[in-house]
Amino acid sequence: MLWIAGSLVVAGMFFFAVGVIGLLRFPDFYTRLHAAGKCDSLAAVLVILGVALYNLADFSLASLLVSLKILAIAVFVFVASPTATHAIAEAALVIGVEPWSKKDQEQ
Amino acid sequence: MKLLQERAKGRPAGDSLIIRTSVRLLVPFIQLYGLYVIVHGHYSPGGGFQGGVVLGASFILLALAYDLKTSLRYMSEGANVLLGNAGVLIFIGIAVLCALLGGLFLDYAALARLIPMAAEEWRSFGIFLVELGVGLTVMSSMVSLFWDLASGGDMEEGL
């Protein structure tokens, strides 16, 4: 159980790292948002699942209740994070942020 | 890109199906969580102020995702003022009741003369009663601050 929990947390850390690299390396606003939004939702959920499993290591009714609460956080992150990303992207579209294109590369 | 931009500009700001659906889905859980934070305030992190802020934020979220009129439909101006004042009355009422029953101001152990319980239990439970008042007042102030600032005081249209 501990090994599964640990590997879930490590996988979450990997996706966080990928998201940060994308945030630093991508050329414009939309691609950065793409990296940050997707990687962060998945990584946060993986870390939270790992923590919930770790909490279940000494099984009792109380630790099961705490794990269910942690799982509820995962559900809400999974709903709220993509919505927030969508709202930010739409706001950028409305005020006219230009996406990156080939001709930006040549300058 | 141009087509998407025209389509996004064509509708009023914030009028997005995705945002509205997820807000409609989340608001009941946010309010439940606010009540949970208030109720657990006296023996875990949280309390009246934090829970009240979460409750108030749920109404502000409604006003941001839909519009001011929708949030006014779920929580009318009169009910908001009533709840805020009821919160202050709960706080002061319990505090003065303690003093009247022979204890000090906010000395919950004195309430044992009304309902017999151990003094320690009353000290714990009295915090919950007072925090309930604090939570109601904070929620009401948050919501009314947002409404007045966003609409310029006329409650007609907000952000």
Domain spans of chain B, in order of start: 16-151
Average pLDDT over residues A9-33: 93
Write out the residue range of the structural domain in which residue A75 sits.
2-100
Answer yes or no: is A107 within a domain: no
Give dist(CA B73, CA B80) in Å, integer: 11
| Min Cα–Cα distance to chain A from B22, Å | 7
Q: Does the model's ipTM exceed the 0.90 cut? A: no
Q: Residue B111 has what pLDDT?
A: 83
Give me chain B's average pLDDT, please: 86
Average pLDDT over residues A70-94: 90
Q: Check CB contact under 8 Å for B5 and A76.
A: no
* Chain A residue at shortest CA distance from B36: A69
Neighbours of A36 (CB within 10 A): 18
Global pTM value: 0.82
Q: Residue B159 has what pLDDT?
A: 62
Q: Check CB contact under 8 Å for B16 and A90.
A: yes
Query: Which of A5-9, B71-75, B141-145 is predicted with the least confidence, judged by mean pLDDT?
Result: B71-75
pLDDT higher than threshold 60 for residue B144: yes
Chain B residues near residue A96 by CB distance under 8 angstroms: 5
User: What is the number of domains present in chain A?
Assistant: 1
Among candidate residues B136, B143, B46, the one with its CA nearest the CA of residue B94? B136
Whether A95 has its CB under 8 Å from any CB of chain B: the answer is no
Cβ within 8 Å of B, A 5-64:
none
Neighbours of A25 (CB within 10 A): 10
